[in-house]
Structure 1
Amino acid sequence: MKIDIVTMEELQQFKTEFIREMRSLIIDNKPTQTTEWLRSIEVRKMLNISPGTLQNLRVSGTLPFKKIGGSMYYNKQEIEKMMKGE
């Protein structure tokens, strides 16, 4: 059985290289696009509309949403698409 002795300098170098590689992996695998979800009050402020108007947009299907618990969430990209008329 062969035993290798590792010096503190070699251990420090290994640590530095390991951290550098891990950072590059994390940065390379970072999602390029993240979805930003807004709550109803943020959407109302953004569009300058009343709660009733927001409800009408939901009911008519004009503005897609997700309901989680008792809160409604809206995809910011979908709101921007709606504003552009796409």
Structure 2
Amino acid sequence: MAIEVITREDLNEFRTLLLKDFKDLLNSKPEQSKKWLKSIEVRNLLNISPGTLQNLRINGTLTYTKIGGTLYYDNADIDKLLNTNKTQALPTLFK
């Protein structure tokens, strides 16, 4: 069985690599989204006007919950709306 000597430089290199790996993990972690969004957050997310958001509520396209005077939208419903209206990309004619 061979004995391997570990030097301070080896430990410093290991420390540097370990810290880099932790930083990469923290930076690559997907941002947790909120469960419920207010109207202004939905409008900013979808880049729509207050009137368009109102139309989505009125015609039942987007469900909401009203508590007091504040409207809340389920983030899962917004994702579902976007996914159900997804279209296939057209094939490119020129490559």
- Identity over aligned residues, as a percent? 58
SS at match of 1:61: coil
- For 1:1-86, what aligned pairs fall within 5 Å after superposition? 36-85=35-84
Which amino acid letter does the alignment assign opposite residue 55 of structure 1? Q
SS at match of 2:37: strand
Q: TM-score, normalised by structure 1?
A: 0.58
1:14-53 Cα offsets, whole Å, 9 max, x none, are: xxxxxxxxxxxxxxxxxxxxx7000000000000000000
Partner of 1:24: none
Unaligned runs of 5+ in 2: 1-33, 86-95
SS at match of 2:72: strand
1:31-76 Cα offsets, whole Å, 9 max, x none, are: xxxx700000000000000000000000000000000000000000
Unaligned runs of 5+ in 1: 1-34
Q: TM-score, normalised by structure 2?
A: 0.53
- 1-structure distance, mates of 2:84, 2:51: 21
Normalized per residue, which structure has more helix?
Answer: 1
SS at match of 1:52: helix
- 2-structure distance, mates of 1:51, 1:85: 22
- 2-structure distance, mates of 1:53, 1:85: 18
- Number of equivalenced pairs: 52
SS at match of 1:64: coil
